[in-house]
Amino acid sequence: MPPAPRPPDAARRSERARTAVLEAALALTAERPYPQVTVEAVAARAGVSKATIYRWWPSRGAVVVDALAHRARTGGDHALPDTGELEADLALVLRAIVDELADETWSSLLRALTVETLLDEGLRGQVLETIFAPQLEAFGARFAAARAVGQVGEGVGDLEALELVVAPVFHRWQQGSGPLTHSYADGVAARACRALAPA
């Protein structure tokens, strides 16, 4: 006989505990060096047992990826601005990214996410699907609009175009090789648009 469905208040308690775990993971990743963000520490902060965490997630990395996806879902709309001027719109997006990276909380989370995806191919696939794919779709819609008005050539795919826009910024952030300023963001947008313009 299958188990009886759980009563609604148990489901609500369970959802509250899941959210508490995700928020504890976000908070701790922002507060301490990542090696100290253990499953024990997350459980203690969330007020649940380690067993509860392992019932829902196979590893610390899986919790972090889910926490970031949770933050992305609650962070609202992904659509890019569309003023009709691709370069100005991309500069705006890149300035916002640069501002986010200057926030040590966000930067720590992104470092943790990057570490986990480098160590675990399964998580990398999950990040691609839950975090990267929606971003690519949003950029793709903006590039399509730009193609329609002749600001982007036909030969370049959305993924290649996205890389031109965001890869330099994340490369610089990860290497610590140079300043991440608004004027740098503007330069990246300008160079991307030159590369993307129809021949």
Q: Which residues bind a second copy (CB under 8 A)?
A: 33-35, 111, 114-115, 117-119, 121, 124-125, 127-128, 132, 136, 156, 159-160, 163-164, 166-168, 170-172, 174-178, 187-188, 191-192, 194-197
Min dist CB 118 to a second copy, Å, is 5
Min dist CB 81 to a second copy, Å, is 22
Helix (H) or strand (E) holding 35: none
First to last CA, the chain: 67
Closest CA to 27 of 45, 40, 44: 45
**Would you say 19 or 183 has its CB closer to a second copy?**
183
**Would you say 19 or 36 has its CB closer to a second copy?**
36
Min dist CB 15 to a second copy, Å, is 30
Q: What is the distance between the alpha carbons of residues 63 and 113, in angstroms, rounded to a whole number? A: 10
SS3 content of the chain, % helix, strand, coil (to 5): 75, 0, 25
**Would you say 71 or 172 has its CB closer to a second copy?**
172
Contact 42, 59 (CB under 8 A): no
**Would you say 10 or 128 has its CB closer to a second copy?**
128
Contact 67, 36 (CB under 8 A): no
Phi-psi region of 158 (alpha: psi -120 to 50; beta: other; left: phi over 0): alpha
Min dist CB 134 to a second copy, Å, is 13
Q: Which residue has the tokens 């996806």?
A: 69
**Would you say 15 or 31 has its CB closer to a second copy?**
31
Q: What is the DSSP string of 152-183?
A: S-TTS-HHHHHHHHHHHHHHHHHHT-S---HH
DSSP type of residue 83: S
Min dist CB 182 to a second copy, Å, is 15
**Would you say 2 or 176 has its CB closer to a second copy?**
176
Min dist CB 48 to a second copy, Å, is 25
